[in-house]
Structure 1
Amino acid sequence: MPVYNSKKYVEIAIQSILNQSYSNFELIIVDDQSDDNSYFICEKIAQHDNRVKVVQAKQNRGAAAARNLAFDYVQGQYIVFVDSDDTIDQDFLAVAYSYVNDNQIDCVKFGCIEEYFNSDGKKAYSKECCLTEQVYDTPDTIRQQMVRMELIPLFGYLWNTIYRASIILDKGLLFNVQYRVNEDFDFNIRYFKYVQRMQCSSYCGYHYAKRLNSLSLSTKNNDEYYELHMMKIKEFLQSFSSIESIDAQTMSDIFWLYTRFVYSAIQRKTANNEPVNTFIKAIRSSDLFAIYRSVHFVDISVKQKIMILILRSKYEVLIHGVIHGISFVRIHCPFIFAVLKR
């Protein structure tokens, strides 16, 4: 658990772990030089439970560096990540162990419960994001499922995943500290190169808090958003031997993700009152957009068809109209936006 200025939430997050019905675990907390009371809260808890180890980073370098530091202290066979403002159900680790105790699974992916909180801290909306119970044990089915999970989205997250520690430690997998966002996706892409058998679980025991006062991607990291999300698309495409080898459904799924990312990137620039016409032209002249034009989409809804047709259209005024609609809903009806954005 990386911790930085989480004094409002960290004790509840830690207690949800210590209250697990499965007790044979270690909790490694890395405080990233918090300047509130977070470190002392963690230290106080550690004094009363020897399963808790608190490490303090020498300097504030972000969650990626904090997680890398935690790897130096890992002794267990499997690794689970929990964020310092989230919670897990009491049977989360017991369910996780039930999947990995036969030592045949390299990775388990769970669903989660997204919980949206108002600026006053009250929960306003929650939604279960679930996976179908299934094992994937061939390279093609694993790659296809990686894309399907990201549509939810559940692939890129760390905290809904059980990792085999030996893969991470023996292969020297570390988080890229240059990424301020999407370092989790980048880590997962590299980890999944070594996954031979993956279990998807229908269990949803992780509570992922999305707080209104921190939903700031429209202004934070705005310059990097488009490049980082195009990185996702390229990584998915490159995980296959060639574009021609990708089945129609997976290709359709990848480029529906692309559609969503492009609209979101344009919307973020619009929200910041940045000029977008040049940006749209750059998108349309990119290699990815050239592939996008030729993709045959299958099993898509009317909403998806309309958004794809407009993005492919030469009439930029249509794109602007959609973007203004998205911006209005995102700003004035954020919980409706959370439902509709999928």
Structure 2
Amino acid sequence: MQEPVGQGPLISIIMANHQGAAYLKAALHSVLAQTYANWELIFADDASRDGSQDIMREAAKRDNRVRVLLHDRLSGPAAARNRALASAQGDWLAICDSDDVMHPDRLRRLVAAAEKLGADAVADDMIHFATEPLATPRSVLGTDMPDQPRKIGPVDMLRVPEPGERSGQLGYLKPLISRSALGALRYDEGLQIGEDQDLYLRFLMQGAQMWVLPEALYLYRRHPASLSYRSSHAQVAAAVAAMEALRDRLMGEQDVEIEKILLKRHRVLQGRLRFETLVEHLKKRRFAVAVLQLLRRPSLILRLAQIITVRARAKAAGDGARKASKQAVEVVHLVGPNGVMPKCVSGRCMEVPDPVADVGYSDLWAELCQLASRTTLTLTYGDAAGLSAAWRVPAAVHILARCNVASELPPPPQVIGDD
């Protein structure tokens, strides 16, 4: 059965998947919960054997806006997305990974912003969430979060954050893109990491108008199986090759700033490749070769020591947080600007912004997501602002409605009843 389709342009939601059954239902639920109804979900499965295909076949039976594309040989996320793009019918394209979650008002707000700005693409911030302890509250934009819509260009997309800088790389974002503006551009299927940024960069280089919005409506799941969570020698080598091809194509044709940032990015990737080569030698017990590499590049010794130290500390902190989280129970009552504070209750109250004015609050949502990763978190809400905020904390264990709330948003999947 198909849900009633609303007004507005058709949005094609592209969801590539490989072995994502553990998280797929949450991603699917966030699509089905969208307040903007005129969408199609194109699910491009990449040789999964974990029940993912059964989940999506069942979803397609219930809602014919869902289409399932199957592929019996592993081809990578870029190829899976390209198959979905070839099948897309929408005026707009939205990427949602099968392990992530969207706020239910995301599509409506993104398409409204794109139309108002006359943009070819708009992107919002992405909040990190996890069921394993997060060391710090994080979002993709970090300190680059604008206070109003900001137009970006190739230099912004290529920019590499300095060590320790809290600003993010725009290539991680999941923009809403005009299908006509994208034209024949497709993902580079030779890339396993950085394929998003590569596409966005080529999109901008052909003159597309892209804006970053001061909103955070995409929840980005951090987990060890995520492709963006790890890299390998082969993946980094492919990224270096792609960057070298891009540099050769653009050098001498662009302004000095782009040439400088291309060279810097190439140096960063070359450094990553040298480190991944060292790791590869160590994994395969080629210790003599590894020692020779360290002698040629002494800076790798410091980097190796730093990473070992950071990982050891993170493991110790994670183990401690995991042990503590079994006992740590947190209750947070979400209250909007005009909401009523609950009386005689345990836990703490947290004021959250009105849903029509909740721009620029990435730090707040990231703080809640970190809390959910480190404790058994229960959220309660009693107004529309609290309901909207609760959707931004997918790892909360329980969510309670303190009363009936009048809102276009449906309850989050963790809601277990009235308090």
Residue 322 of structure 1 is matched in structure 2 by 303
Q: 1:225 aligns with which of 233, 236, 239?
A: 236
| Distance change in 2, residues 1:33/1:323 (3 Å) | closer
CA pair 72-214 structure 1, distance change in 2 beyond 3 A: closer
Q: Which residue of 1 aligns with 2:202?
A: 190
Quote the residue 1:54 is aligned against.
Answer: 68
Q: Find 1:42's aligned residue among 53, 56, 64.
A: 56
TM-score (norm 2): 0.59
Aligned to 2:246: 235
> Does 1:269 find its partner at 2:310?
no
Structure 1 stretches of 4+ moved >6 Å = 215-218, 334-337
| Aligned residues of 2:111 and 2:176 also touching (Cα < 8 A) | no
TM-score under structure 1 length normalisation: 0.71
Could you say which residue in structure 1 is the equivalent of 2:256? 246
The CA RMSD over aligned residues, in Å, is 3.4
Identity %: 21
Deviation at 1:53, TM superposition (A): 1.4
- Is the 1:9–1:85 contact (alpha carbons within 8 Å) kept by the matching residues of 2? yes
**For residues 27-106 of structure 1, what are the structure 2 equivalents within 5 Å?**
27-102=41-116, 104-106=118-120
Counterpart CA distance in 2 for 1:52 and 1:210 is 26
* 2: CA distance, partners of 1:327 / 1:265: 17
Task: Give ranges in structure 2 of 5+ residues lacking alignment.
Answer: 1-14, 319-419
Amino acid at match of 1:11: K
CA distance in 2, matches of 1:335, 1:116: 17
> Are the aligned partners of 1:113 and 1:129 in contact in 2 as well (CA < 8 Å)?
yes
Is the 2:275–2:300 contact (alpha carbons within 8 Å) kept by the matching residues of 1? Answer: no
Measured after TM superposition, the shift of residue 96 of structure 1 is 0.7
Check if 1:143 corresponds to 2:158: no
Measure the CA separation in 2 of the matches of 1:92 and 1:98: 10
Conservation of the 8 A alpha-carbon contact between 2:27 and 2:100? yes
| Equivalent AA in structure 1 for residue 24 of structure 2 | V
| Residue 114 (structure 1) aligns with | 128
Cα distance per residue 1:75-116 (max 9 Å; x no partner): 111101111011111221122112222472112122211224
Distance in 1 (CA, whole Å) between partners of 2:228 and 2:104 is: 31
- Name which one, 1 or 2, has greater alpha-carbon Rg: 2
Distance 1:192 1:150 in 2: 20
Shift of 1:280: 7.7
Measured in 1, the distance between the counterparts of 2:66 and 2:137 equals 30
Amino acid at match of 2:139: E
CA displacement at 1:195 relative to structure 2: 3.4
Q: Is the CA contact (8 Å cut-off) linking 1:115 and 1:125 kept in structure 2?
A: no
Distance 1:184 1:336, change over 3 A: farther
Of the candidates 119, 129, 152, which is equivalent to residue 140 of structure 2?
A: 129
Aligned position for 1:333: 314
Asked whether the 8 Å contact 1:154–1:160 carries over to 2, the reply is: no
Return the alpha-carbon distance in structure 1 between the equivalents of residues 271 and 244 of structure 2: 14
Amino acid of the residue matched to residue 156 of structure 1? G
Unpaired runs of 5+ residues, structure 1, are 283-315, 338-342
Deviation at 1:15, TM superposition (A): 0.6
Deviating more after overlay: 233-242 vs 176-185: 233-242
The number of residues matched between the two structures is 290
Correspondence 1:154 to 2:169: yes
